[in-house]
Amino acid sequence: MTTPTLPILDNHMHLNPNGRCIEAAKEFAHAGGTHIVLVSLPPWSLGISINKPDDYRQVFDTVLKVARRVEDEGNVKVFVILGVHPAELTKYYGRLGLDKTIEVMKGGLEIASQYVGKGQAIGLKSGRPHYEVEPKLWEASNDIMQYSFQLAKDANCAVQLHTESATEEGLTEIAGIARTAGLAPEKVIKHFSPPLIKTCEKTGIFPSVLAGEDAIEKALAEGTRFMMETDYIDDLTRPGSVLGPKTVPRRTKQLIPEWGEDVFWKIHKENPEKVYGVEINT
C-alpha cells in the first residue's frame, strides 16, 4: 500500500495572462502545491473597462481560460472564484454615478453566480473597502456584499471576502449580514486573514490566513480551522510586493516536522472540502 500524498492548497491566488501565469503555477506545483483557488482579478488588471454587468463576462472568461490552461500544462487542480472587488465601487462611481455602479456590480455578481450554477466556479468574491470611505460608499459596499450572500445562498456556494482588517466586532457584523441574507457564516471566507482562528470560529466566519512570516505557526497554536493563502497577484510591475507562488507548499513542508502531517490534511483537504463542497484528491 502506498501512503497517500498530502494535498496542498493555496486558497487565494491570481494569475494574469500578462504576468508569469503558467510559470507561476508550475513553480507552485514544483514546490509541492496541488490545488489552486484562482480568484478573479479586478477588471483593470486585465485592461477591461466595466460599463455594464455583461462586461464582467470578459473578466470571468479570461479567468476560466487561465484555469483551463493551468490544469492542462501546470499539473495542478484549479478551482475558480468569480465576483467583484470592493475597490471597483470607489473607482467607478465618479464616472457612472453611485446607483449605476451598485447596479453594475450587483449585475456582475449575478453573472458570477450563473457561472457557479453551471459548475464553472465554486464561489463568489465580494467585500468592502479595507480603507476608510464616505458613509454612503460604506453603505453601498455593505449592500453589494449582502447581495453576494443572497446569491451564494441561492447557488449554495461560498463567498470569499476582501474586507477591512479583521476584528471581532467587524467579523460579528459581517456574520450578522450573512445570516440576514440566509447564508451560514461558515460559507463566508475572510481572505487575507490574520491568524485569529479562535475569534473567527466564535463568529462563524472562515479564515484564509496569509502565509507570511510566522502567521501559520500562530494560527496552528489556536487550532486548525483555517485555510492558507498567498494572495499572489502575478503583477510583473510589482515583483516581491506579495508572497510568491511557492510560499504555501514551502511553509507547509517546513512546519510538518514540528506539527505533523495530520493538521495539514485538515487545512488543505477537510476544510476546503467542507467550505466549498468540493473534493480534494491527489
How many residues touch Zn ion under the rule CB under 5 A: the total is: 1
Q: How far is the CB of 164 from Zn ion (least distance, A)?
A: 15
**CB of 7 or CB of 83, closer to Zn ion:** 83
Number of H helices, E strands in the chain: 11, 8
Q: Which residue is nearest to Zn ion (CB)?
A: 231
Q: Which of 10, 88, 229, 231 binds Zn ion (CB under 5 A)?
A: 231
- Which lies closer to Zn ion via its Cβ, residue 6 or residue 63? 63
Instruction: Assess contact for 125 and 162: CB atoms under 8 A.
Output: yes
- Shortest approach of Zn ion to residue 68 CB, angstroms? 20
Window 113-142: residues binding Zn ion (CB under 5 A): none
Report the alpha-carbon angle 232-238-240, nearest 5: 60
Which residues within the stretch 238-277 sit at the binding site for Zn ion (CB under 5 A)?
A: none
Q: By the 8 A CB rule, do 162 and 131 touch? A: no
Q: How far is the CB of 208 from Zn ion (least distance, A)?
A: 10
In single-letter form, the type of residue at position 112 comes to A
Q: Of 56-64, 231-239, 248-256, 258-266, which part binds Zn ion (CB under 5 A)?
A: 231-239
CB atoms within 10 A of CB 62: 19
Residue reference for cell 479583521: 166
* Side chain identity, residue 193: S
Q: How far is the CB of 214 from Zn ion (least distance, A)?
A: 22
Q: Which residue, 88 or 231, is less far from Zn ion as judged by CB?
A: 231
Of 92 and 232, CB closest to Zn ion: 232
**Interface map 149-188 toward Zn ion (x if CB under 5 A):** ----------------------------------------
Q: How far is the CB of 12 from Zn ion (least distance, A)?
A: 6
The string over 204-229, giving b where at least 16 C-beta atoms fall within 10 Å of a residue's C-beta and e elsewhere, is bbbbbbbbeeebbeebbebebbbbbb
CA distance 199 to 167: 8
Closest distance to Zn ion from the beta carbon of 27 (Å): 18
DSSP state of 5: P
CB of 62 to Zn ion, least distance (A): 15
- Helix, strand or coil, per DSSP, at residue 123: strand
Whichever of 85 and 269 has its CB closer to Zn ion, that residue is 85
Q: How many CA atoms lie within 13 A of 205 on its CB side?
A: 34
Burial code of 123-139, b = ≥16 C-beta within 10 A, e = fewer?
Answer: bbbbbbbeeebeeebee
Between 17 and 223, CB nearer to Zn ion:
17
Binding mask 188-227 for Zn ion (x = CB under 5 A): ----------------------------------------
Write down the least CB distance from residue 161 to Zn ion, Å. Answer: 11
Q: Which is nearer to Zn ion, 163 or 203 (CB)?
A: 163
- Listed in order, strand segments (DSSP E) in the chain are 9-13, 35-39, 77-83, 123-127, 158-162, 188-193, 206-210, 227-229
> Quick one: 10 or 231, whose CB is closer to Zn ion?
231
Residues that bind Zn ion (CB under 5 A): 231
